[in-house]
Structure 1
Amino acid sequence: MNSFCNASRTSDTAEILARLKNLSAAEEFFALLDVAYDPKVLDVSRLHIMKRMGQYLAEEDFADLPEQVIAARARAMLERAYEDFATSSPLAHRVFKVLNDHNPAKPAQPGHTFVPFDSILKRFGRE
């Protein structure tokens, strides 16, 4: 990575999950969790990174864990999500339904076949 943004580590981990829920910008998540990032990667893949982090968080059970452990796990999940997209394109991971529904590598489901609009127009075009 060429350029990095990194916020100073926060020592206050009180209610980290509640604080994360109140954030809106991807940069705020990276700053709160003290995760370094390349702005170029974040500009291209911010929604994908945040969606993937949400998927990782949803898989965890944080019940009865100390706040420091929760903060460390959330930090690790953000780092993991970021790395997923820093090393490959969003199309490779297909975290959003619209990308999964139109995955050329996945066979079409019966009754849900996708027909490109161009192929329909060719029938009615210059023949």
Structure 2
Amino acid sequence: MSNSHSAASILDRLNKASSAEEFFSLLGVEYDPGIVNVARLHILKRMGQYLANEQLAGAAEPDIRARCKAMLEQAYADFVASSPIDQRVFKVLKDAVADHDKPTAFVPLSELK
């Protein structure tokens, strides 16, 4: 493999990964399968949010790999410390909280037919 191909290889490999476990394996991050089973999509979404703030263009492969690993570790740590409900990375969970704050209409059982 040439150096020019390996510059994008970790990002290419992550883009082709089909499971959260592959992300952890590719980046060499230890994890508890119980946490990943509950929060896999949340962890990957959070990692993506963190990576969106990174400037990886033109960086060397070891630097890209290190940043990706750090972002996955940080995202995973978020869900070790609290639940997906507490973190609310997905819109549906954010909306649920917003709706929860709205007063609900009360309908007495006697009105139901």
| Normalised-by-shorter TM-score class | 0.7 to 0.9
TM-score (norm 2): 0.82
Higher helix content, 1 or 2: 2
Cα–Cα, structure 1 residues 120 and 51, in superposed 2: closer, same or farther, change >3 Å? farther
**1:125 correspondence with 2:101:** no
Is there any run of 5+ residues in structure 1 with no aligned partner, and where? 1-12
Give the 5 Å matches for 1:1-127: 14=6, 15=8, 16-103=10-97, 107-108=101-102, 115=104, 119=106, 122=109, 124-125=111-112
Deviation at 1:85, TM superposition (A): 0.1
Deviation at 1:124, TM superposition (A): 3.2
Cα–Cα, structure 1 residues 104 and 20, in superposed 2: closer, same or farther, change >3 Å? same
Distance 2:20 2:37 in 1: 10
Distance 1:43 1:17 in 2: 23
TM-score (norm 1): 0.74
Is there any run of 5+ residues in structure 2 with no aligned partner, and where? none
Distance 2:65 2:16 in 1: 15
Cα–Cα, structure 1 residues 104 and 68, in superposed 2: closer, same or farther, change >3 Å? same
RMSD value, Cα? 2.5
Between Structure 1 and Structure 2, how many residues are aligned?
Answer: 107
